[in-house]
Amino acid sequence: MSWFLLLLQTSFRNIFSSFLNLVIGLIILVGTFFFVVGGSLVDSIDKGMSRSIIGSVAGNCQVYEASSQDSPAVFESWQIPDLDPIPDFSKIKGPLMSDPNVSAVVPEGINTAIVVYGNTIDQVLEKLRKAVSPGTRQPKAVVDSLKAHVRQMVSVIQTDMGKVNQIAASGSFDPQAGEDLKKASSNEFWGSFDSDPFNHLEFLENKIAYLIPDSDQIFLSYVGTDLDAYQRAFDRMEIVDGQMVPPGHRGMLLSKYDYEEMFKLKSAHRLDQIHEALTEKNKKIAKDPDLQDLVKQNKLQTREIVLQLDPLSSQKAVSILQGTLNSKETDLSKLLSAFFDTDDSNFESRYKVFYDQLASLVELYRLKPGEMLTIKAYTKSGSVDAVNVKIYGTFQFKGLEKSGLAGSESLMDLMSFRDLYGYVTPDKIAETKALEKTAGVSFVSRDQAEADLFGGSSDVEQSQQKAINDKAEMGGGAKVKRVDLTQRVYTQDEIEKGVAMGAAILLKDPSQLKATMKRLQAICDKDNLGLKVIDWQKAAGNLGQFVLALKIILYFATFIIFVVALVIINNAVVMATLQRVREIGTMRAIGAPKSFVLGMVLTETVVLGLVFGALGSALGSGFVMLLNHSGIPAANEFLYFFFSGPRLYPGLSLGSLIGAFIVVLIVTCVSALYPATMATKVSPIEAMASDE
C-alpha cells in the first residue's frame, strides 16, 4: 500500500526531527544493547556450563533407578542423593546402547569418603620401625637421622604443650602426658633405644604419637565408575601425575584440584595460590586482603614443615633461609616465618627459592601416586565401611583445570566403589533385606555403634586417637586381602555385571538430546528396566538451574528497564504528538481518517524503536564480538566452571537478537498506543488556527 510506504518514509524522516525522538531512541538503544549483550553472555555461559557439566561427569543425559527417592545431582557431593541401585549394569547397557545416537553408557555412582590422613609422626615412626626391622634394615646413619627427627618432633610438641599450658586453666592438661613427653625427650630414653628398639617404638606409638595430631579428616568425593569406559567417554579427561589405573585393576585417580587442595603441603599450596594471583590475575598482596591472609597463615603455620624435617634437613633449611634472608637467626620456625612474610616486591624471588631449594627437603605431597589410601565411607545402610585403594595418579579435565567444581570428584574403580557402597551382589542385597527384617537386632547393634563412636568420650584428642587406632586396626586387618585385591584383574564382564547407581549416557549428536531421551525412556519402559532418563541439566542438580536463574535475572532486569522505558517513551510520544497538533490537524482537514493518524503515530514510534533498536543491537553485537576477541577472564573457580575454561569467549546469540527485536516491537507499540489514540482526537480545526 502506497500510503503505508508514505507512512514509513514519513516515519524515517521524522526520526531526527525532534529532540524527544532522540531521547526515546537512546533509551531503546541502551535497552537493546544490554539485552543483546546480556542475552549473549547468558547463552554463552549456558553453553560453557553445559560443556563443563556434560564433559566432566554428567554426560548428555543420565539414567537412574526410577524407584529412587531423589534424582542424581552429580555436582552436589556435599549431599549424596538417595538413589536406589541398578542391580545389574550389564542388563541396561545393551538396550541403551541400541539407540543409534548413543555413543557410550558409563556406569557411575557418587559417594563421599572420609579419609583420615596424616600424622607425620606416625609416618616417621613407621619408617623408623622399618629401618630397625630385620629384612628392611637400614644403615645406622639413616636410623640415627630418623631417631633425631622423632626427637625433634617431641621437642616441638613439648614447646607447644608448654604454651597451651600457659593459656589453659591448670589441670586441663593430662599430667601423665607431660611425664610421657619428658621421658621421650630424655637422653636415657634415646640412649637405650638401640638396645630394645621395638619396645621404645611401641611407647612412642602409643603414648606420644597421639599428642602430635597434625592429621586431619579429608572429605573426598568420588565417582565410582568403569575407569576405562570413563576415560574413553569423557575425552577432556587427562592424567596429570602418575598413570592411569591399568585396565581391570582396582585403583583410584584423584582429581588434580583436590590433590593440590588437600594433599599438598599447606604452605606450598598457599604459595601457589599467591603466585597464581600475582602472575595470572594481576593482583597485589598490598591491595588484596585474601592474599594478605594467605601470607599471614604461612607466617603462622610453619609447624607442618618443621615437623617434617629431621635435624640434618633442618640444618640445611636453616642455612638456606639464613642466606636468603641475610639473617643470623638459628630458630627454623622463626626463619620460616620471616621467609614467608612476603610482599609484592620479594614474593616471586622467595617463591623461586622455596621450590628450587627448600622443596627438595620436604614432602610436598603427603600422598604420592603408587601409595595406598584407606577410604572410609558410609554405606547405604548407614554403617562405615573401609577399603584400601591404590592411588595411581591424578587427573584433570582439559580447560577446567582451575575449577574446583569440575575437580570436585575423584575417580574410583567400580569394584572398590561397590565394596564401599555396601552393595556387592544381588545376594548381598537379599542378605541386607533379610537383616533389615530382623530390625530389632540390627537396631540394637546400630545404637551401640553410635554410642561407641560418639557417646563415650567428649575429649577430642581421645576420639582422634580412637580414629587412628581404628585406622590401624583396619589397615592391619585388611593387609592380606589388600595385596590380593590390588593385583587382581577384573574382566569387563565382572565390572559390568553388578551394581551401579546410575549411568551417564553420551550422545553422538548432542543436539538431538530431547528426541534421544524420549527414545531411551521408551526403551527403558518397553524392556521394563525400571529406569528414568534425565538430561544433564537436571542431573547437575542445583548447579544446572544456575543458568535458569541467570536467565530469570536477566529477563527481570530487562523487564524493569523496558517498563521504565515504556513510561518514558509514552510521555515523550505524548509530548511529541502535542508539538505536532497543527500537522495532524492539517492532515485531518485535508481528509486523512483517524485510522491514518493512529497508524502514523504508531508506525513512527515503532520505526523509531526499530532503527535505534537495530543500532543498539549492532552496538551490542559489536561489543559481544569484542568480548569474543579478548575473552572475559574467569575471576574465580566458579566462573571457571561456568565459562568452561579460564576465559569466556561469548558468541553472539541469535535468540537474544530476535528477542531484542520482539521486545522493542512490543514496547514501542504499547507505549505509542495512548499518544496515538490521543492524536486521533486532534480536531481538524487545529489546522485553521493562525500562528499568532
Partner 1 sequence: MPKNTEGQDIVSIQNVIKEYHLDKVVVPALRGVSLSVEAGDFLSIVGPSGSGKTTLLNLIGCVDVATSGTVLIDGHDTKSLNDRQLTDLRLNTLGFIFQSFNLVPVLSVFQNVEFPLLLQRKFTKEERAKRVDELLEKVGLDKHTQHRPSELSGGQRQRVAIARALVTRPKIVLADEPTANLDSVTGENIIDLMKEMNRVEKTTFIFSTHDAKVMSHANSVIRLADGKITDGKGAKAGAH
Stretch that binds partner 1, among 51-59, 75-83, 589-597, 622-630 (CB under 8 A): 589-597
Stretch that binds partner 1, among 74-82, 459-467, 547-555, 581-589 (CB under 8 A): 581-589
Q: Considering only residues 95, 583, 659, 669, which one is a binding residue for partner 1 as defined by CB under 8 A?
A: 583
Does residue 591 interact with partner 1 by CB under 8 A? yes
Does residue 598 interact with partner 1 by CB under 8 A? no
Closer Cβ to partner 1, 419 or 604, answer by number: 604
Does residue 681 interact with partner 1 by CB under 8 A? no
Of 632, 515, 517, 536, the closest CA to residue 56 belongs to 536
Contacts 24+ apart (CB under 8 A), 575-583: 575/20, 576/18, 576/20, 576/21, 576/675, 577/601, 577/675, 577/676, 577/678, 577/679, 579/18, 579/20, 580/679, 581/682, 581/686, 582/686, 582/687, 582/689
Q: What angle do CA 149, 150, 153 make, to 5 degrees?
A: 90
Amino acid identity of residue 184, one-letter, is A
Does residue 368 interact with partner 1 by CB under 8 A? no
Q: Considering only residues 596, 623, 649, 674, which one is a binding residue for partner 1 as defined by CB under 8 A?
A: 596
Rounded Cα distance between 288 and 420, Å, is 43
What's the DSSP call for residue 62? E
Stretch that binds partner 1, among 71-79, 370-378, 593-601, 671-679 (CB under 8 A): 593-601
Does residue 587 interact with partner 1 by CB under 8 A? yes
What is the smallest separation between the CB atom of 3 and partner 1, expressed in angstroms?
4
The three cell numbers locating residue 46: 549456558
> In 3-state terms, what secondary structure has residue 217?
strand
Does residue 593 interact with partner 1 by CB under 8 A? yes
Does residue 688 interact with partner 1 by CB under 8 A? yes
What is the smallest separation between the CB atom of 600 and partner 1, expressed in angstroms?
10
C-beta atoms surrounding 258 within 10 Å: 20
What is the smallest separation between the CB atom of 565 and partner 1, expressed in angstroms?
25
Does residue 592 interact with partner 1 by CB under 8 A? yes
Stretch that binds partner 1, among 19-27, 50-58, 475-483, 590-598 (CB under 8 A): 590-598
User: CA 382 → CA 111, 352, 387, distances in Å?
Assistant: 13, 48, 16
> In 3-state terms, what secondary structure has residue 21?
helix
Q: Counting beta carbons within 10 angstroms of the beta carbon of residue 498, is it exposed (0 to 12), middle (13 to 18) or buried (19 or more)?
A: buried
What is the smallest separation between the CB atom of 665 and partner 1, expressed in angstroms?
23
Closer Cβ to partner 1, 2 or 487, answer by number: 2
Does residue 586 interact with partner 1 by CB under 8 A? yes
Rounded Cα distance between 124 and 117, Å, is 14
Phi-psi region of 326 (alpha: psi -120 to 50; beta: other; left: phi over 0): left
Does residue 599 interact with partner 1 by CB under 8 A? no
Rounded Cα distance between 122 and 112, Å, is 25
What is the smallest separation between the CB atom of 573 and partner 1, expressed in angstroms?
16
Residues 9-28 within binding reach of partner 1 (CB under 8 A)? 9-10, 13-14, 17
Closer Cβ to partner 1, 8 or 478, answer by number: 8
What is the smallest separation between the CB atom of 615 and partner 1, expressed in angstroms?
20
What is the smallest separation between the CB atom of 1 and partner 1, expressed in angstroms?
8
What is the smallest separation between the CB atom of 604 and partner 1, expressed in angstroms?
10
Q: Considering only residues 51, 147, 256, 588, which one is a binding residue for partner 1 as defined by CB under 8 A?
A: 588
The three cell numbers locating residue 222: 568420588
What is the smallest separation between the CB atom of 688 and partner 1, expressed in angstroms?
6
Rounded Cα distance between 180 and 183, Å, is 5
User: CA 638 → CA 238, 255, 478, 633, distances in Å?
Assistant: 21, 16, 39, 12
Of 668, 459, 688, 451, the closest CA to residue 569 belongs to 668
Residues that bind partner 1 (rule: CB under 8 A) add up to a total of 28
Does residue 297 interact with partner 1 by CB under 8 A? no
Does residue 594 interact with partner 1 by CB under 8 A? yes
Stretch that binds partner 1, among 304-312, 338-346, 451-459, 583-591 (CB under 8 A): 583-591
The mark string for 537-576 relative to partner 1 (x by CB under 8 A, - otherwise) is ----------------------------------------
What is the smallest separation between the CB atom of 583 and partner 1, expressed in angstroms?
6
Stretch that binds partner 1, among 6-14, 332-340, 417-425, 487-495 (CB under 8 A): 6-14
What is the smallest separation between the CB atom of 630 and partner 1, expressed in angstroms?
42
The three cell numbers locating residue 445: 547393634
Does residue 605 interact with partner 1 by CB under 8 A? no
User: CA 181 → CA 57, 156, 175, 205, 347, distances in Å?
Assistant: 49, 11, 10, 12, 38
List, as one string, the DSSP characters of 465-501.
Answer: HHHHHHHHHHHHHTHHHHHHHHH----HHHHHSS-BS
The three cell numbers locating residue 619: 552496538
Closer Cβ to partner 1, 529 or 611, answer by number: 611
Residues that bind partner 1 (CB under 8 A): 1-3, 6, 9-10, 13-14, 17, 582-583, 586-594, 596, 683-685, 687-688, 690-691
